[in-house]
Amino acid sequence: MRRDKGNRARSVQPEQIALFGARLLGGTRVDALEIRKLEAYIRRLFGNARLRVVPRPKKDDSAEVYIGEEFIGVLFVDDEDEERSYNFQMAILGADLE
């Protein structure tokens, strides 16, 4: 689910995911299957089936990562040197540690 300006949840359609991937990789068409593979990988890696990868509305070089409805970080695609890789960035606020 994505959030609109009123912070209401809305669904992301597969064609939006495919468009996200196409922009990310310099015009190379990426289907929803690759996004699902990324999501499946991070779910296995962190042992949490509630993790979700969601395209960002105004950025075409990254996706948001959620646990349920809580935003936890950003997943960046790096297609430099003809070898695709992914970087996950998560900020931890001091207040969250208390």
pTM over 0.95: no
Which pLDDT value is given to residue 13?
A: 53
Which pLDDT value is given to residue 24?
A: 46
Which pLDDT value is given to residue 18?
A: 46
Which residues have C-beta within 8 Å of that of residue 72, sequence separation ≥ 6? 65, 66, 90
pLDDT tens, N- to C-terminus, the chain (98 residues): 455 556 555 555 555 554 454 444 443 334 467 778 899 999 999 999 999 998 877 776 778 899 999 999 988 877 777 787 888 999 999 998 99
Q: Which two tokens stand for residue 37?
A: 């593979």
Nearest to 29 by CA among 38, 41, 20: 20
